[in-house]
């Protein structure tokens, strides 16, 4: 039963890993992103069988009176001989088989003088139970008898006289089978009410998750809708898929407030097909110190030909000015001075780099004669910057992918393992602040929950 309860808790379990926003960079206000998570769920009929068997005692029925039922001089006890077995039908129904051992004692005589003889025999009862999964998280069943068969027939042995009591026992068995249908339905309704578990799960997972201590990043999940595909019945299991429409929000710095707790889980929707893609945004960050080091590795102390002379880069640094990246380079030789090359940072998917577009150039020099070379120098250095300088994002993308997939492939609770894969990830926005560059990365993934070990 624990297994079945947990399965329906899954409709509210959704935990996502996102990569990080540097605590020292300006906080980026992430938008709410609507996503879908698909969870294929398999309910083994053996688990439902365990629930039924645990709710039905070994001694099913007992009649200890000779004088009831119009002084029938008959006693009977009925037990299960082995566990009740369930098999999936073809019309959202379960076929239930109940093996029974029956002890009966019958009195034969007149005028109040009876001779008693007992016998033990076995039979198998059959039931058909139609399941209905209500969108308020309850399951109802309508169980009907489908007769029974004798394994051994009841006969009272008085030595020379053998009295078959099949008809007498059959009447009692049919009455008990009708009552047993109600017992099955009552037990199913009591045990398969998942409303309280759905509320517990919803409220537990409305708490923000601390997904990165290094960058103090929090993820807040807000479920919006729950969708379920129709139940599919097989011989040994019931299959369905649970889809959750959620909004994910990323926060940096202080822990965000949790969503208000609920007292009643909202009804879910039945839909034929579920979406199976999960969308989220992550960030990767490049401090300007790192961007400067990349520029130094590329250009510092390098010499470039200019009209038969040389221009040497003696210092270089990168920083932000409003929404632009500024590269400030000190040069000597043919052009001595300080050059400023600014540009809007964009992501080049082919190069896997953050590069500059719409570049502007300005040269500050104390040598008025060198200003005649400005246009020539401008064309060369701007082209060089545009073609050569770029902040590689391949490692950032790989790190983000690894971080997300690690978060997507965890056992957050015993027996509940998340399984996910990132299949597309790329920066879509480049943001600047005083300390560095933030690349906002759009991620497409699949996310499932796998249940095992219950």
282 near 239, Cβ under 8 Å?
A: no
Choose the weakest-confidence range: 12-26, 228-242, 336-350, 411-425. 12-26
Question: Torsions phi, psi of 91, nearest 5?
Answer: -125, 50
Rounded distance, CA 264 to CA 194, Å?
Answer: 11
For residue 367, name the pLDDT band (cuts at 50, 70, 90).
Answer: low
**Strands in 365-435 per DSSP E:** 391-392, 411-413, 416-432
Comparing 344 with 177, the larger pLDDT belongs to: 344
When computed from its CA atoms, the radius of gyration of the chain, rounded to whole angstroms, is 38
Choose the most confident range, by mean pLDDT, from 16-20, 153-157, 220-224, 325-329: 325-329
Length of the chain, in residues: 454
Whole-angstrom distance, CA of residue 426 vs CA of residue 104 = 76
Question: Which DSSP helix (H) or strand (E) runs through 80?
Answer: strand 74-80
Q: pLDDT by residue (tens digit) across 419-444?
A: 788 888 888 888 888 888 888 888 88
Unique residue bearing structure tokens 């965890």:
410
Asked whether 348 and 324 are in contact (CB, 8 A), the reply is: no
pLDDT of 275 strictly over 80 = no
Q: Are 431 and 28 in contact (CB under 8 A)?
A: yes
For the chain, helix, strand, coil in percent to 5 are: 25, 50, 25
The DSSP code for 55 is: H
Residue 82 makes CB contacts below 8 A (sequence gap 6+) with: 99
Residue 283 lies in a domain: no
Q: Does residue 299 form part of some domain?
A: no
97, part of any domain: yes
pLDDT tens, position by position, 95-123? 999 899 988 887 777 777 777 778 888 99
> Which position has the token pair 């509320």?
199
For 229-329, where are the alpha helices, taking DSSP H only? 288-299
Domain of residue 85 covers 45-191
**Residue 231 is assigned to a structural domain of this protein:** no
Return the half-sphere exposure (C-beta side, CA atoms, 13 A cut-off) of residue 414: 4
Of the two residues 355 and 55, the one the predictor is more confident about is 355
Instruction: Note whether residue 384 is domain-resident.
Output: no
Whether 384 has a pLDDT exceeding 70, the answer reads: yes
> Which pLDDT belongs to residue 355?
93
User: Which residues, 6 or more positions from 434, have their beta carbon under 8 angstroms from its beta carbon?
Assistant: 26, 320
The mean pLDDT of 445-451, rounded to a whole number, is: 67
Which residues have C-beta within 8 Å of that of residue 328, sequence separation ≥ 6? 316, 317, 318, 319, 338, 339, 340
With a cut of 60, say whether residue 291 has pLDDT above it.
Answer: yes
- Cβ pair 2, 415 in contact under 8 A: no
Does 201 or 119 have the greater pLDDT score? 119
pLDDT tens digits for 293-324?
999 998 999 888 877 788 899 999 999 998 89
**DSSP, res 10:** G
pLDDT in tens, 161-185: 777 878 877 877 788 788 888 888 8
For the chain, what is the domain count? 1
Asked whether residue 27 is domain-assigned, the answer is no
Report the predicted TM-score, pTM, of the whole model to 2 decimal places: 0.58
Distance separating alpha carbons of residues 125 and 248, to the nearest angstrom: 52
**2-14: buried (b, 16+ CB within 10 Å) or exposed (e) per residue?**
ebbbbbbbbbbbb
| Distances in whole angstroms, Cα of residue 151 to Cα of each of 125, 178, 386, 408 | 11, 20, 88, 53
- Are the C-beta atoms of residues 97 and 104 closer than 8 Å to each other? no
Instruction: Assess whether pLDDT exceeds 60 at residue 21.
Output: no
CA distance 396 to 298: 19
Q: Is the pLDDT of residue 11 over 50?
A: no
pLDDT digits (tens, 9 = 90+) for 136-164: 888 889 999 999 998 988 887 777 777 78
Q: What are phi and psi of 76, to 5 degrees?
A: -155, 145
- State the pLDDT confidence band at 193, using cuts at 50, 70 and 90: confident
pLDDT band at 16 (very low <50, low <70, confident <90, very high): very low
Kindly provide the residue ranges of all beta strands, DSSP E only, lying in 253-352, ordered along the sequence: 269-270, 278-287, 303-306, 309-321, 324-333, 337-348
* Angle between helix 166-191 and helix 45-55 axes, rounded to 10 deg: 110
Whether 275 maps to a domain, the answer reads no
User: For residues 86 and 4, what is the distance between their CA atoms, to the nearest angstrom?
Assistant: 15
Poorest-pLDDT segment among 143-152, 198-207, 285-294, 347-356: 198-207
DSSP run (H or E) holding 199: helix 195-204
């Amino acid at each position: 039963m624990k297994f079945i309860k947990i399965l329906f808790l899954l409709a509210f379990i959704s935990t996502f890993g996102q990569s990080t926003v540097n605590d020292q960079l300006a906080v980026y206000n992430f938008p709410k992103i609507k996503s879908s998570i698909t969870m294929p769920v398999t309910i083994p009929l053996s688990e439902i069988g365990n629930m039924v068997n645990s709710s039905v005692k070994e001694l099913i029925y007992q009649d200890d009176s000779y004088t009831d039922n119009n002084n029938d001089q008959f006693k009977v006890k009925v037990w299960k001989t082995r566990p009740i077995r369930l098999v999936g039908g073809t019309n959202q129904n379960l076929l239930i088989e109940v093996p029974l051992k029956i002890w009966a004692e019958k009195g034969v005589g007149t005028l109040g003088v009876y001779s008693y003889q007992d016998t033990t025999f076995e039979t198998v009862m059959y039931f058909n139970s139609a399941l209905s999964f209500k969108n308020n998280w309850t399951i109802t069943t309508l169980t009907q008898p489908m007769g029974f068969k004798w394994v051994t027939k009841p006969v009272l042995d008085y030595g020379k006289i053998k009295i078959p009591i099949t008809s007498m026992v059959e009447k009692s068995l049919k009455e008990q089978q009708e009552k047993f249908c109600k017992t099955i339905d009552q037990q199913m309704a009591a045990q398969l009410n998942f409303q309280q578990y759905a509320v517990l799960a919803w409220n537990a997972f409305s708490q923000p998750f601390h997904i990165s201590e290094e960058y103090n990043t929090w993820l807040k999940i807000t479920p919006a809708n729950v969708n379920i595909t129709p139940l599919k019945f097989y011989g040994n299991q019931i299959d369905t898929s649970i889809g959750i429409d959620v909004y994910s929000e990323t926060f940096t710095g202080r822990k965000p407030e949790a969503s208000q707790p609920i007292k009643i889980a909202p009804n879910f929707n039945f839909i034929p097909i579920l979406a199976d893609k999960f969308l989220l945004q992550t960030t990767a960050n490049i401090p300007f110190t790192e961007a400067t080091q990349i520029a130094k590795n590329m250009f510092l102390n390098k010499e470039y030909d200019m009209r038969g002379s040389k221009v040497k880069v003696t210092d270089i640094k990168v920083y932000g000015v409003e929404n632009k990246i500024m590269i400030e380079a000190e040069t000597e030789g043919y052009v001595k001075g300080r050059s400023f090359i600014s540009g809007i940072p964009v992501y080049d998917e082919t190069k896997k780099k953050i590069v500059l577009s719409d570049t502007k150039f300005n040269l500050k020099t104390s040598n008025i004669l060198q200003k005649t070379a400005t246009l020539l120098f401008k064309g060369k250095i701007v082209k060089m910057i545009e073609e050569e300088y770029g902040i590689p994002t391949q490692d950032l993308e790989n790190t983000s992918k690894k971080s997300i997939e690690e978060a997507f492939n965890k056992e957050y609770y015993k027996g509940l393992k998340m399984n996910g894969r990132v299949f597309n990830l790329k920066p879509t926005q480049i943001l600047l602040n005083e300390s560095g560059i933030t690349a906002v990365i759009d991620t497409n993934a699949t996310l499932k929950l796998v249940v095992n070990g219950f």
